[in-house]
């Protein structure tokens, strides 16, 4: 699949906006506001409580406008003023053509997956995803069977795509985790080209630059990794079933055990952390949990088993969100939100809602959810 350049993405963004948005374009030279220091402009935009749609119109006026409108500082100010909301985004492969880019959706308050603009340049498979406040980074992947260095950013404020600085190494199915304002990436590169220097790298969100992050080259790649945010620590398991703790900010790395075998057979997919506990999607519709230091997986109690759960993630409320396929009458993708409570050493789940969220046509039976996550965005 041919790669497209930044100009084509810019053109795609321009064509997407309605005439009303285009009329609101502001030239940096014709607006006195934009001649002020960036921090003053951000504060003015926050205090004025400009609507999300007007901010989106400003964002397409120029690159400088976009960088300020989508800045973490403005998002934080709007969060303090109650002008933000958390939305669940889903990336899904629905085309029968394996070379087609994935589709992107947002879960509406009415429990429906509504499509948003997709990126025609996104790798169709094996990308890594990292959600940050205001957007989602898509890193690497396979294009025509070849690893790519490309990094794309989905601006969840305006639902536009922007090219971010490329990684130093082409990667596919790499481990990528956000810790304290930096994205730490490891593995996923060609073995013969990898060494302890380029096996891992780190992306600073503030400076938008890539740098080196030392992590010893491992015999096996990480198959699961998850951030325990309270400790700013990455917990990882490799394909050889060995467990690791990573403290990226201090370049600390150590292996603490081989994963424990328990009495629940099957796979362990979609690992995520809620507080200091780990959760995952097991076999036969089971949702499992464990203490990171033990890795003794136990079932979440009080739930019916969904026999075709295809994705498990968490949302901003600290609840679990699951997706599964139903083949009754018509093929539908279903979703549910599950709240959790701990009682006497067990985790109990309660179904908060369950609904059909997306209808799959006859050509989409091979659909696959590649990623889902909650993102904090500006509202109003």
Q: According to the model, what pLDDT value does residue 168 have?
A: 94
Q: Return the percentage of the chain with pLDDT > 70, whole number.
A: 71
User: CA of 352: how far to CAs of 70, 197, 303, 369, in Å?
Assistant: 32, 47, 11, 22
pLDDT over 80 (residue 103): yes
Better-scored residue on pLDDT, 247 or 279: 279
Contact 88, 319 (CB under 8 A): no
Q: End-to-end CA distance of the chain, in Å?
A: 38
pLDDT tens-place string over residues 265-301: 677 899 999 999 999 998 888 999 998 877 788 999 9
Percent of the chain with pLDDT over 90: 43
Identify the pLDDT of residue 223: 85
* Calpha distance 114→159 (Å, rounded): 12
> What's the pLDDT at 15?
40
The answer to which of 19-23, 151-155, 193-197, 227-231 has the lowest mean pLDDT is 19-23
Q: Which residue in the block uniquely carries the two structure tokens 């590169």?
A: 189
- Can you tell me the distance from the alpha carbon of 359 to that of 223, in angstroms, rounded to the nearest whole number? 31
Whether the predicted pLDDT of 34 surpasses 80: no
Structure tokens at 299: 């079932």
- Give pLDDT, residue 208: 95
User: What's the burial of 252, exposed, middle or buried (CB within 10 Å: 0-12/13-18/19+)?
Assistant: exposed
Task: Write the DSSP symbol of residue 30.
Answer: T
- Mean pLDDT over all residues of the chain? 80
3-state secondary structure at position 6: helix
Q: What is the dihedral of CA 293, 297, 299, 300, to 10 degrees?
A: 20
Burial 49-64 (b: 16+ CB within 10 A, else e): ebebeebbbbbbbeee
**Domain coordinates of the chain in residue numbers?**
6-80, 88-115+261-370, 119-259
- 3-state secondary structure (DSSP) of residue 198: coil
Tokens of 321: 């969100």
Give the pLDDT confidence of 38-77 residue by residue, as tens digits.
Answer: 666 666 665 555 555 566 666 666 666 666 666 666 666 6
pLDDT of residue 23: 37
Element (H, E) at 66: helix 63-69
Cβ atoms of residues 283 and 265 within 8 Å = yes
Q: Is the pLDDT assigned to residue 29 strictly greater than 50?
A: no
Of 310, 323, 312, the closest CA to residue 273 belongs to 312
Contact 269, 312 (CB under 8 A): yes
For the cut 90, the answer to whether the pLDDT of residue 341 exceeds it is yes
Pair 349, 320: CB distance under 8 Å: yes
**Cα 88 to Cα 86: distance, rounded to the nearest angstrom:** 7
For residue 350, the cross-strand partners are 339
pLDDT confidence tier of residue 222, bands split at 50, 70 and 90: confident
Cβ atoms of residues 67 and 155 within 8 Å: no
Which token pair is 185?
């990436």
- Which residues are paired to 211 by β-bridges? 202
Look at the block and give the residue holding tokens 């009682």.
343
Quote the pLDDT of residue 50.
59
pLDDT in the model for residue 111: 95
Say what the pLDDT of residue 257 is. 57
Residue with more model confidence, 343 or 47: 343
1: confidence class by pLDDT, cuts 50, 70, 90: very low
For domain 119-259, the CATH class is mainly beta
Residue 252: strand pairing partners: 247
Residue spans of beta strands (DSSP E) within 213-345:
222-228, 233-238, 242-247, 252-258, 269-274, 277-281, 287-290, 298-299, 309-314, 320-326, 332-343
- For residue range 157-183, what is the model confidence (pLDDT) as tens digits? 889 999 999 999 999 999 999 999 999
What is the pTM assigned to this prediction? 0.79
More confident residue, 217 or 138: 138
Of 232, 365, 253, nearest in space to 310 by CA:
365
How far apart (Å, rounded) are the C-alpha atoms in residues 274 and 290? 11
Which of 20-24, 248-252, 281-285, 315-319 is predicted most confidently?
A: 315-319
């Amino acid at each position: 699949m041919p790669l497209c350049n930044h100009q084509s993405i810019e053109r795609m963004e321009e064509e997407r906006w309605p005439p009303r948005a285009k009329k609101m374009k502001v030239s940096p030279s014709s607006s006195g506001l934009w001649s002020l220091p960036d921090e003053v402009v951000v504060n003015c935009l926050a205090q004025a409580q400009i609507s999300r749609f007007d901010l989106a119109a400003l964002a397409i006026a120029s690159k400088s406008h976009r960088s300020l409108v989508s800045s973490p500082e403005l998002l934080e100010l709007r969060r303090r003023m109650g002008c933000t909301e958390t939305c669940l985004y889903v990336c899904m492969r629905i085309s029968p053509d394996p070379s087609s880019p994935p589709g992107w959706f947002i879960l509406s308050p009415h429990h429906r997956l509504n499509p948003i603009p997709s990126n025609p340049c996104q790798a169709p498979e094996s990308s890594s995803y990292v959600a940050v406040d205001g957007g989602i980074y898509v890193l690497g992947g396979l294009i025509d069977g070849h690893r790519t260095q490309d990094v794309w950013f989905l601006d969840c404020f305006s639902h536009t795509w922007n090219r971010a600085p490329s990684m130093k190494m082409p990667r596919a199915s790499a481990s990528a985790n956000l810790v304290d304002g930096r994205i730490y990436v490891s593995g996923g590169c060609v073995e013969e080209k990898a060494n302890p220097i380029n096996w891992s790298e780190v992306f600073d969100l503030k400076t938008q630059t890539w740098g080196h992050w030392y992590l010893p080259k491992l015999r096996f790649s990480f198959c699961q990794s998850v951030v325990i945010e309270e400790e700013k620590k990455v917990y990882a398991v490799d394909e050889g079933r060995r467990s690791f703790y990573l403290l990226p900010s201090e370049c600390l790395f150590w292996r603490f055990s081989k994963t424990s075998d328990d009495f629940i057979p099957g796979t362990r997919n979609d690992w995520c952390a809620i507080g200091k506990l780990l959760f995952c999607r097991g076999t036969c519709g089971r949702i499992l949990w464990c203490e990171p230091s033990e890795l003794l997986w136990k079932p979440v109690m009080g739930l019916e088993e969904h026999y075709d759960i295809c994705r498990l993630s968490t949302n901003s409320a600290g609840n679990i969100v699951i997706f599964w396929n139903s083949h009754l009458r018509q093929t539908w993708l279903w979703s549910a939100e599950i709240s959790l409570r701990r009682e006497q050493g067990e985790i109990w789940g309660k179904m908060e809602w369950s609904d059909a969220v997306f209808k799959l046509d006859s050509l989409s039976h091979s659909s696959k959810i590649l990623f889902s996550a909650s993102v904090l965005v500006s509202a109003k």
